Chain A
Amino acid sequence: MDALDRAIVNRLQDGFPLCERPYAAVAAELGCGEDELLARLDDLLDTRILSRFGPMYHAERLGGGLCLVAMKIPPTDFERVAALVNALPEVAHNYEREHVFNMWFVLATETPQGLSDALARIEHDTGYSVYAMPKLREFFVELKLRA
């Protein structure tokens, strides 16, 4: 990543305009051309420096369910369970962590009922208990990782 890539990563975490030529508007702020910004952004996504770019939808406000779930999986069985869990489209992301609770994933479902269905399915498919830890309250933060 060079200085322009870093400027793009930082700038695009700040929001993106709703106008006819939004890339041109952001490119003008950054002092590069629209085509250059589009090409750089394509590369940043291709090389996975950015996981995604676009609108981020708020699951609960869409009437859906969202829940953090933890599991305790014996290391020897971890890969099998990870494959089963990841296969569910409702699993938005999944991390391995160093702890007895070693698998942590987020379920995003179209309805609140979908959560209990997905949890039951995971317990059934994997043979291990799930520990659902839905957020009871979200404290305000601003996520920005400086590149």
Chain B
Amino acid sequence: METGSLDALDRRILLATQRGLPLVARPYHAVAEQVGTSAEAVMARMQHMLDAGIIRRIGAVPNHYALGYVANGMTVWDVADDRVFALGDAVGRLDAVSHCYLRPRKRPEWPYNLFAMVHGHDRAEVEHKAGQIAELLGDACSAHAILYSTRILKKTGLRFA
């Protein structure tokens, strides 16, 4: 597999940890045993991958639904191209927004270029939060929609073979 800036040891660490960190008292020792190196080397390589942004973070990913955030709205906005960079930064800073991306439009069916994910305990909360985004975008935005998720069809995260 092609893994950009990963060396062979990094790659073995990735394969051993992509499904999760072992739930044992010394997890990095367990990974080290699996990949054939020392725990110190595993921790050093993982620190390096964190510093390089190859690992975003080590931590837990909660299931929104199980935490009561049952309304999950992908809010999408058609924002003027000359203003979307500055406005996207501002939208991303709103507490209500968990992910914010600029993406290509697919005209005529899909006029939206700014995507902001909003989670709420119900749809009214999502709509209230979307209202804050609409206010911030003002006349730079000509259309928007909220796409609620109705079902998780798959959620496995990143997997390399």
Contact = CB atoms under 8 A, between A and B. Distances in A.
Given A41-B23, A47-B66, A49-B63, A93 B102 contact: no
Contacts of B29: 20
Given A68-B103, A139-B91, A57 B54 contact: yes
Contact of B43 (A19, A50, A97): A19
B153 interface: yes
Residue among A14, A20, A68, A139 with the most chain B CB within 10 A? A139
Contacts of A47: 66
Contacts of A22: 27-28
Nearest to A99: B147
A136 B81 CA distance: 12
Contacts of A59: 158
Contacts, number: 241
Given A61-B4, A89-B161, A143 B150 contact: no
B128 interface: no
Of the listed residues B49, B154, B161, the one surrounded by the most CB atoms of chain A closer than 10 A to its CB is B154
Contacts of B147: 97-99, 101, 104
Interface of B: 1-6, 14, 17-21, 23-29, 39, 43, 46-47, 49-50, 52-64, 66-67, 69, 72, 74, 85, 88-89, 91-93, 97-104, 106, 109-110, 115, 119, 145, 147-161
13 contacts: A18-B47, A38-B23, A38-B25, A52-B157, A55-B46, A56-B61, A59-B158, A101-B109, A133-B103, A135-B102, A139-B89, A140-B100, A143-B98
